[in-house]
Structure 1
Amino acid sequence: MEWIFEPWPWYVAGPLIAIIMFLLIFIGKQFGMSSNLRTFCTMCGADKTADFFNFDWKSQRWNLAVVVGAALGGFIGAHYLSNDVTVAINPDTISTLKELGFNSAGSAYLPDELFSLEALTSVKSLSLLLIGGLLIGFGARYAGGCTSGHAISGLSNLQLPSLIAVIGFFIGGLFMVHVLFPLIF
């Protein structure tokens, strides 16, 4: 049973994702995590204030199970199925991150400098998290879906707009890591 405590290789995880996507397409469903935010807002009454939220949220109940499953799976994986919570990253990356002030690089899954409770008392960290969250939310809405929706669902449906969005996500990620990240930190 030791294999369950290790990261699964692409040739196991990839076909499992492909099988799930085939089943979703076969039954006429589309996967996407950001669409659940719209469903949650509608459940809380946002449909009374904005037409965007005026839809039958009950038809999306199956997708809410994905959110619950992701949260439960993450909790179970982190607390019961992981021997080591660090990420194996390149030593050069670790040294670069430490030069930028991320002393927890290489020893923590998420950098304590941004994601600890103490970080929430820092104006800079709190500003980065809030601005980043707003940009991600706006980007997901403007692009018509999030990275998982476009890269997994959209590409498996051979949708050209999803290919364009994924290329944009990739370019934006490269720009962030190589240009903005060093400027911010």
Structure 2
Amino acid sequence: MDSILNPWPWYISGPLIALVMALLLYFGKTFGMSSNLRTLCAIGGAGKYADFFKFKWKNQIWNLTVVAGAIIGGYIATQYLSNDSITELNKKTITELQIMGFKNPGETLVPDEMYHVDVLKTPKGLMLLIIGGLLVGFGTRYAGGCTSGHAITGLSSLQKPSLIAVIGFFIGGLLMTNFILPLIF
């Protein structure tokens, strides 16, 4: 039973992702979380305030299955398919994170120092949430999609703009991790 609680190996999850992408391509559909959020905003009436949300959202309602799947799948994964094993981090990474103030790097899925609800009660935590949210929103809009849309759908359909966006995501992630994060913590 313990083997079912570990993450699915690449040879199961990879072909499943490929199968879903092949079906989406066959039916002329695209995948990405930002598309789903745009649809949700349009349903909520955001088109009254911004032209970006003025589109025939009823044609995109199928996209909301991704949102439902992420919520339901996340619940199933955390409640039934997870174990309490810690993330195996490089010893140098652990030392660097501890120097930055992270108490137990790798022992939880996300660090409490950044993601615990109490962080929102601090000015630093609130500013990180607001600025980070604005940057993610701006970046998603500027890049014409999110990481899942470009990296999964865009690359699988051989779109050059998605390749450029994914390279940009990696460069941004490296810059954030190696230069900006140490300044924040």
| In 2: Cα distance, 1:155 partner to 1:5 partner | 30
Distance 1:130 1:86, change over 3 A: farther
Give the aligned partner of residue 101 of structure 1. Answer: 101
Q: CA deviation at 1:85?
A: 5.8
Alignment deviations for residues 75-129 of structure 1 (CA, whole Å, 9 cap, x no partner): 1111222121632222321221111001031221111111112111111111111
Could you tell me whether the CA contact under 8 Å between 2:42 and 2:57 is conserved in 1? yes
TM-score (normalizing by structure 1): 0.95
Give the aligned partner of residue 21 of structure 2. Answer: 21
Larger displacement relative to structure 2 (40-49 or 140-149)? 40-49
Give aligned-pair identity as a percent.
61
Larger displacement relative to structure 2 (81-90 or 106-115)? 81-90
Q: Give the 3-state SS of the residue equivalent to 1:34 in structure 2.
A: helix
| In 1: Cα distance, 2:180 partner to 2:142 partner | 21
Give the aligned partner of residue 74 of structure 1. Answer: 74
| In 2: Cα distance, 1:139 partner to 1:85 partner | 33
Give the aligned partner of residue 127 of structure 1. Answer: 127
| In 2: Cα distance, 1:101 partner to 1:62 partner | 43
| In 2: Cα distance, 1:67 partner to 1:155 partner | 21
RMSD of aligned C-alpha atoms? 1.3
Larger displacement relative to structure 2 (25-34 or 100-109)? 100-109
| In 1: Cα distance, 2:150 partner to 2:46 partner | 25
Give the aligned partner of residue 140 of structure 2. Answer: 140
TM-score (normalizing by structure 2): 0.95
2:159 equivalent to 1:159: yes
| Unpaired segments ≥5 residues, structure 1 | none
Could you tell me whether the CA contact under 8 Å between 1:85 and 1:109 is conserved in 2? no
| Unpaired segments ≥5 residues, structure 2 | none
